[in-house]
Amino acid sequence: MISRSTIDRVFESARVEEVIGEFVQLKKAGSNFKGLSPFTDEKSPSFMVSPVKQIWKDFSTGKGGNAISFLMEHEHYSYPEAIKWLAKKYNIEIEETEQTDEQKAQMNERESMFLVSNFAKDYFHDLMLNTNQGKAIGLSYFKERGFTDETIKKFDLGYCLDEWDNFTNAALAKGYDLKYLASTGLTIVKENKQFDRFKGRVMFPIHSMSGRILGFGGRILKADKKAAKYLNSPESDIYHKSKILYGIYQAKKEIAKQDNCYLVEGYTDVISFNQSNIENVVASSGTALTSDQIRLVNRLTKNITVLFDGDAAGIRASIRGIDLILEQGMNVKVVQFPDGEDPDSFAKSHSNSELKAYLEDSAQDFINFKVSLLLKDSNNDPIKKAGVIRDIVTSISKIPDSIQREVYIQECSRIMEISERVLFSELAQLLKKEVSAKAKKSKLQSAPNQDPNQPPPEYFAEMEQAQLGVVKGGEVAFKKVDQLSILEREIIRILLLFGNEQVDFLEEIVNVDEDGKETITTREYQNSVSAEIYVHLHDDEIEFSNEIFQEIYTEIIHQINQSEKLNIDSLVNHPNPSIANTVTSILMDEEKHQLSNWEGQNIFVTKATEVLYKAVNDSVFNLRRILIGKKIEELMSEAKESQAPVLDLEMIKDYTALKMKLFNKLNRVV
C-alpha cells in the first residue's frame, strides 16, 4: 500500500496541464488550455484543462477529473499505478508497505499481463548487456547497426537467448504465472511443454503512449527460410497491433513541440532517426496504416509527413494510408528517398544536418506526389490519365474541410491541365455516392430486414434519447424533463463556484398592524453564499432527491461548519469517484464557452459574480416552487381518496398561495 504522505506529496506536485500535455496537444484558451478529445474521434476541440482549478473535462464524452483520473481513464491505470506514474514523473520517492499474497492474488488479469511484459523487457535488456551470449550476439548486432548505448537504453532493446525455454524458466522462477506468459504470447504452451516465442531474436519492446509495455517485436539473426524475419506479439487484451505506433512514447513530446510527425515503416527507421536527433518519428511496424493509429498522432499534431523508401512497388501498396490520413482532417506531406534507400540507411549514410535538409527540401504535397507517381504509368495514354485524375479526386473527396477540398481541386486542375468545373462535378458525384453508401450501410447494420423506404427503428430511439419523445398510438409522447435534478445541480454549482463569496442580500420583513394590515419592509445584510443557501434549505428541511448531490452538499456544509470555508480540492480529489467526477463536470461547465472563443467574436457574457444575489435567490425559490408543486400534486391525489377532503383542500389552498408568492418573487407570470 502507498503511504498517505506519498499520495499527499503527489497531489501537491502534480500539475494537470503538464500531465495531460504528455498525451494531448494543448493550446492556450484564455486562462485554460484546450485540445482534441483523446477519447473520441473529433475535428473540433472539446477537451478543456483548467490549471487554476487543476481539473479537466472532455465535453464530447462527459468525462472529467484531476490528473489521477485522467491517467486512470486514458491509460487504464489503477489508482496506485497512477500515483506511481506521477511520483516517477515528479521524482517523488514512494513509501509503501509490502503487498500480501492475498493482495497480489487480487490483481486483475490485465495488470498481471502488464507486469509480465515489463519483467520480459527488463530481462531481455539485462541479458543482452550482462551475459556473454547476449553481448556476443544481441549487443553486437545493434552495434553493427550503429546504435549507441544511449539509444539502446532509450528504446529498451534486448535479446532472447537461442534456447527453448530460457526466458520462460526465468519468469516462472520469479513467481510469474504461466497463464500470463501465455496470454501475452511470450511463451507458447502446447500440451505438457512450453517454449519461448522469441528465442534467438533481438527484441524491440513496444510501448504505449505512457510507456507501458504492450508487446514485442523480435528479429531473427540467423538465416532460416522457415522462420519469419520479424515476429510480433500476438493480439491480446493489452496489445492490439492496429492501435499502436512504435516509438510513440519516445516521440510524443517532440511531435507536439515540432507540430509535425514523421511516419516510417520499421523499428530501425525510428531508432536511426532518433540517433540523428530527429525524435518526432513513429512507425506502423510493417502493417497497413489504420485509422486508430492516425488518431494517436492526431492528438498531438495535425501535420504528418509520410516517408517512403525508393521501392516504387512498396509505395503503391502503402499509398492508401494517405487517404485515411486525409479522412482524419490532417495535413499530409510526403518524402520519397532515392532508389535503394530507406529512412534507416539514408540516416546512417548522411550527417544530421544533411538528413534534416533533405526532409525539408524533399517534402511535397500529397497531390504533387500522387500525380508524379501515377503519371509515370500512364505513358501519355488519355484513358490512363483520366484514371489518374479520378484517383486524385477520390483522395480529395476524403478531406472533411470543404475549403481545403476546393484549394486542392484548383491545384489538381493546374497540374493536370483540366478544367475546375469538370473536377468539381466529379467531386460532387463522389461525395454524393459516399453519403448514400453510409446511409445504406447504417440501415443494414441497424436492421438487415428493414424496409429501406421506412424510417429505421433507431430513428425513434434517438428521438427519445434527445427528449423529443416517442411515437405512441400515432401521437408523440414527450419525455418529462427532471426539473428537480436540474435545480439541485444548479445549487451545487453555485456552492462550488461561489460558496466562499460574500454577497449583500435583502430580507423582507412582514409587519402586521392592529387592523391586520400587512406592510413589507426590507433589510440589507451581508452573508456568504454557502451560509445563505444553508439557512434556506435548513429552515425548509429540504434534502436533495439526487443521492450524489446530497452527498456533495453534506460534504460542503461539513467543511463550512468546520473551517467556515469551502475547500474545492478535497472534492475534486474525493475518494468517491462519483463525487469527484460530478464536481469536476460542474466546475468545468463554466469554462465551456472558451472553446467557442465568444470574446473573440465580440460576444460578452455578464460575469456571474455581478448577479450572485439573484442567482442564489432564484435557485432557492425555484427549488421551493418545484417541491411545493409536487406536494400539491400529492395532496390532490390523496384528496380524491380521502374521507375528509375539506382538510386536504384547505392545505392545497395554502400551498397554492405560497406557490403564487414564489412566482411573484421570481417575476413569473402565471
Query: Is residue 224 predicted with pLDDT exceeding 50?
Result: yes
The whole-angstrom separation of Cα 495 and Cα 560 is 11
Query: Is residue 608 predicted with pLDDT exceeding 90?
Result: no
Strands 230-232 and 32-35, bridge-based pairing: unpaired
Q: Which three three-digit cell numbers place residue 330?
A: 490532417
Selected from 1.10.3450.40, 3.90.580.10, 3.40.50.1240, 3.40.50.1820, the CATH number assigned to the domain covering 4-89 reads 3.90.580.10
Query: Is residue 207 predicted with pLDDT exceeding 80?
Result: yes
Q: Where does the pLDDT of residue 506 fall: very low under 50, low under 70, confident under 90, or very high at 90 and above?
A: confident
Q: Where does the pLDDT of residue 603 fall: very low under 50, low under 70, confident under 90, or very high at 90 and above?
A: low
What is the tens place of the pLDDT at every residue in 378-392?
Answer: 767 888 888 888 988
How large is the average pLDDT for residues 229-234? 94
pLDDT of 107 reads 56
- Which residue spans within 96-251 are E strands per DSSP? 158-160, 187-190, 193-196, 201-207, 213-220, 230-232
SS (H, E, C) 350-366: CCHHHHHHHHHHHCEEH
pLDDT of 474 reads 44
What do you get for the CA distance between the two ends of the chain, in Å? 60
Cα–Cα separations (whole angstroms), residue 366 to 315, 429, 478? 13, 22, 51
- H-type alpha helices, 499-546: 529-539
pLDDT of 313 reads 61
Describe the chain by its helix, strand, coil percentages, rounded to 5: 55, 15, 30
472, β-bridge pairs: 475
Q: Name the residue ranges covered by the structural domains of the chain.
A: 4-89, 107-239, 248-430, 447-476, 483-595+607-665
Q: Where does the pLDDT of residue 187 fall: very low under 50, low under 70, confident under 90, or very high at 90 and above?
A: very high
pLDDT of 110 reads 86
- Which residue in the block uniquely carries the three cell numbers 481539473? 55
Q: Which three three-digit cell numbers place residue 91?
A: 521524482
What is the tens place of the pLDDT at every residue in 82-97?
Answer: 898 999 999 998 887 6
How large is the average pLDDT for residues 481-489? 80
What is the tens place of the pLDDT at every residue in 578-591?
Answer: 888 888 888 888 76
How large is the average pLDDT for residues 487-503? 86
- Comparing 36-40, 126-130, 301-305, the range with the smallest average pLDDT is 36-40
Q: Where does the pLDDT of residue 571 fall: very low under 50, low under 70, confident under 90, or very high at 90 and above?
A: confident
- H-type alpha helices, 259-401: 267-275, 291-298, 312-318, 320-327, 343-349, 352-362, 366-378, 382-397
pLDDT of 100 reads 64
pLDDT of 300 reads 86
- Contact, 87 vs 67, CB < 8 A? no
Query: Is residue 123 predicted with pLDDT exceeding 80?
Result: yes
The whole-angstrom separation of Cα 121 and Cα 171 is 11
How large is the average pLDDT for residues 508-537? 78
Query: Is residue 564 predicted with pLDDT exceeding 80?
Result: no
pLDDT of 31 reads 83
pLDDT of 601 reads 56
Q: Which three three-digit cell numbers place residue 249?
A: 512514447
Domain 248-430 has CATH 3.40.1360.10: yes
Query: Is residue 577 predicted with pLDDT exceeding 90?
Result: no
How large is the average pLDDT for residues 68-84? 85
194, β-bridge pairs: 189
The CA radius of gyration of the chain, in Å to the nearest whole number, is 32
Q: Where does the pLDDT of residue 646 fall: very low under 50, low under 70, confident under 90, or very high at 90 and above?
A: low
- H-type alpha helices, 565-606: 568-572, 577-589
Query: Is residue 466 predicted with pLDDT exceeding 60?
Result: no
Q: Which three three-digit cell numbers place residue 616?
A: 442564489
Strands 281-283 and 261-264, bridge-based pairing: parallel
Of the ranges 114-128, 276-290, 581-595, the best mean pLDDT one: 114-128
pLDDT of 528 reads 83
CA proximity to 573, closest of 8, 1, 75: 8
The whole-angstrom separation of Cα 155 and Cα 274 is 10
Express as a percent the part of the chain with pLDDT over 90: 35
State the angle between helix axes of 612-641 and 529-539 in degrees (0 to 180), rounded to the nearest 10.
Answer: 10
- CA quadruple 172, 176, 177, 183: dihedral sign: negative
pLDDT of 349 reads 94
284 compared with 630, residue with greater pLDDT: 284
Q: Is 292 left (phi over 0), alpha (psi -120 to 50) or beta?
A: alpha
Q: What is the mean pLDDT of the chain?
A: 82
- Comparing 91-105, 350-364, 459-473, the range with the smallest average pLDDT is 459-473
How large is the average pLDDT for residues 209-233? 90
Domain 107-239 has CATH 2.60.200.30: no
pTM of the model: 0.67
